[in-house]
């Protein structure tokens, strides 16, 4: 145990397990006596789905999920959707950013929605079925859906107030 300050719980603090320090514009994370220097925190700007049937997938995200298409490069099979702070890219097989592995990893994108019930109703009308029932998480409700190539995604709505 560590010495407690007023209001602290009686368990080891995060700082007892991970030593975090600031030095100029670099952040250092010391864990198991290994220091790792990082610049400013990474921010997700684009999530890319690498797909086999590019036209079908672009149609799915544009017309079923109704995401805003920013641009599409048809000859190179690359499309970018505006989803707010993070963009979603759909990359086909014609000219991928780098070679795919035989057992490519799946990707899961989490979409925040204002009205989960209304979004689910609209998706069902488009033929999209949920993989799960609506579930309650810590501070949000969510459901899993998949796209035509089996990439699973989470749709979530923040819950009002604490849970």
3-state secondary structure 88-145: EEEECCCCCCCCCCCCCCCCCCEEECCCHHHHHHHHHHCCCCECCCCEEECCEEEEEE
State whether the Cα torsion 121-146-113-132 is positive or negative: positive
pLDDT at residue number 120? 93
pLDDT at 60 over 90: yes
pLDDT digits (tens, 9 = 90+) for 86-136: 999 998 988 876 666 666 555 778 888 999 999 999 999 999 989 999 998
Query: Average model confidence (pLDDT) for the chain?
Result: 76
pLDDT at 22: 43
- Mean pLDDT in residue range 19-31: 45
Residue 33 domain-assigned? no
- Read off the pTM: 0.59
- The CA-atom distances, in angstroms, between 125 and each of 17, 118, 120, 156, 159 are 49, 11, 9, 19, 25
Mean pLDDT computed over 28-43: 48
Segment 66-92 shows an average pLDDT of 93
Number of domains into which the chain is organized: 1
- Let me know if residue 35 belongs to a domain: no
Query: What's 148's domain CATH number?
Result: 3.30.720.110
Establish if 124 belongs to a structural domain: yes
CA nearest neighbour of 48 among 135, 93, 109: 109
Q: Is residue 26 situated within a structural domain?
A: no
Quote the domain boundaries for residue 162.
Answer: 106-163
Q: Is residue 120 part of a domain?
A: yes
């Amino acid at each position: 145990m560590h010495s407690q300050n007023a209001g602290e719980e009686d368990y080891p603090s995060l700082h007892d397990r991970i030593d975090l320090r600031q030095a100029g514009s670099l952040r250092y994370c010391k864990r198991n006596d290994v220091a790792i220097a990082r610049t400013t925190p990474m921010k997700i700007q684009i999530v890319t789905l690498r797909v086999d049937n590019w036209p079908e997938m672009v149609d799915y995200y544009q017309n079923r999920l109704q995401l805003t298409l920013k641009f599409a490069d048809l000859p190179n099979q690359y499309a970018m959707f505006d989803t707010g702070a993070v963009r979603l890219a759909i990359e086909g097989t014609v000219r991928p950013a780098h070679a795919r592995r035989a057992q490519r990893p799946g990707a899961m994108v989490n979409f925040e929605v204002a009205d989960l019930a209304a979004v689910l109703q609209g998706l069902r009308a488009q033929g999209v079925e949920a993989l799960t029932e609506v579930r309650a998480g810590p501070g949000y409700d969510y459901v899993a859906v998949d796209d035509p190539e089996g990439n699973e995604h989470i749709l979530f709505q923040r819950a009002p107030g604490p849970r």
